[in-house]
Amino acid sequence: MDHASTVPNQANAPFLSIIIPAYNEELRLPPTLSRIAAFLRVQPYTAEVIVVENGSTDNTAGAVRQFIQEQLLPADPFSICLLQSAPGKGAAVKKGMLSAKGDYLIMSDADLSVPIEDVPKFLPPAIQAGSFDVAIASREVAGAVRHGEPVYRHLMGRVFNFLVRVMAVPKIQDTQCGFKCFTREAAQVVFPLQRIDGWGFDVEVLHIAACHHLRMIEIPANWYYGANSRVRAVHDTLNMVKELLKIRVNSRRGYYNRPESASSLVDNAVA
C-alpha cells in the first residue's frame, strides 16, 4: 500500500495550519477569530490561521484585516493571514491548503460548527503520529453528536452520502462535514489534483485520497447546526450530485493520476 512519505517541513514552520474559507462572513469572522485565538494561545505549539476570502460582496476582507491589526498580540504563538481566491468554497480551501506551511492542515468552516476546541482530537497524541493521512470529522460514526439539526437535513445528507459511497468514496460515512485534517504530505498529494471549486470538492479530495491509497480515519464529531448556514439544502444537494458525476468522469479520464511531484511523495513512502 502506498502512503505519503515524510517530507521535512521548512525551518520555523508552524505545527498547525487552520484554513477557513470565507464568503460574506463579515459578521461571523470576528467572534470566530477571537475564539480561535483564545484556543491557540494555550496550546503547546505554534500555528497559523489562513482565512481565504472568495468573492464576498460584504466587507469580509476588511473584518479580517481589522482583527489582525487590533487583536493580535506580539507574544501570540500563531499568525493570521488573509488570502483571496476565485469564487467557490473548494477554490478557497485549495488556495489555503497549498499556501499552508504547517505539519498538519485543518480546514474549518467559519461558523465553527465543529468547535475549534475539538482540534486536539484530530492531532497527535490523540491519534498516533504516522498512523493516518486524513482525519475526517464524522457525524455518523459511534460517539458523534448532532446538535439542533432538522430531520430533513439529516435525511438529505444520508441520501447524498449513499450516492457518494456507491460512486466515489466507498468506506467513508460522512464526507460533507466541513472539518478535516490532512498531514502536510497528504495535502501535497491531494490538493494539486483538485478540480472542483464548488460544494462537491469535499467528495473530490477524499476520492483523490482514496485513489492514492492514503489512510483515512473518521473521528466522531461534536457538530452544531447553524440556522444561518450557507448551505441551500435542495439547490446545493442537486449541484453536489452533478459534481459527483463530474468526479466519476474526471477519474475515468485519469485526471486524478499522480503528477510527478505528488508521485515522488507517495512512492518514497514506508508502508
In a domain, 1, yes or no: no
Encode pLDDT of 96-132 as tens digits. 999 999 999 999 999 999 999 999 999 999 999 999 9
* Residue 2 belongs to some domain of the structure: no
pTM beyond 0.75, yes or no:
yes
Tell me, yes or no, whether 50 lies in a domain.
yes
Is the pLDDT higher at 191 or at 158? 191
Sorting pLDDT into bands at 50, 70 and 90, what band is 259? Answer: low
Q: Which is more confidently placed, 31 or 225?
A: 31
Q: Using the predicted structure, report yes or no on whether residue 254 has a pLDDT greater than 80.
A: yes
- Does residue 4 fall inside a structural domain? no
Using CA atoms, how far residue 42 sits from 4, 38, 77, 140, 180, in Å, is 30, 7, 9, 30, 22
Q: Grid coordinates in use for 191? A: 490538493
The mean per-residue pLDDT over the stretch 155-171 comes to: 78
- Specify if 8 maps to a domain: no
3-state secondary structure of 113: coil
Assign residue 88 the CATH number of its domain.
3.90.550.10
* Residue 222 domain boundaries: 16-260
Total domains in the chain come to 1
Q: How many CB atoms lie within 10 A of CB 115?
A: 15
pLDDT of 256 above 60: yes
Residue 42: inside a domain: yes
Answer whether residue 266 is part of any domain: no
Q: Give a yes or no: residue 142 inside a domain.
A: yes
C-alpha span between 223 and 146 (Å, rounded): 5
pLDDT at 267 over 60: no
CA distances for 134 relative to 24, 34, 182, angstroms: 28, 27, 5
Question: Which grid cell sits at 72?
Answer: 493580535
Lowest mean pLDDT among 79-88, 188-197, 217-226, 256-265: 256-265
Q: Quick one: DSSP state of residue 59?
A: S
* Lowest-pLDDT range of 68-82, 186-200, 257-271: 257-271
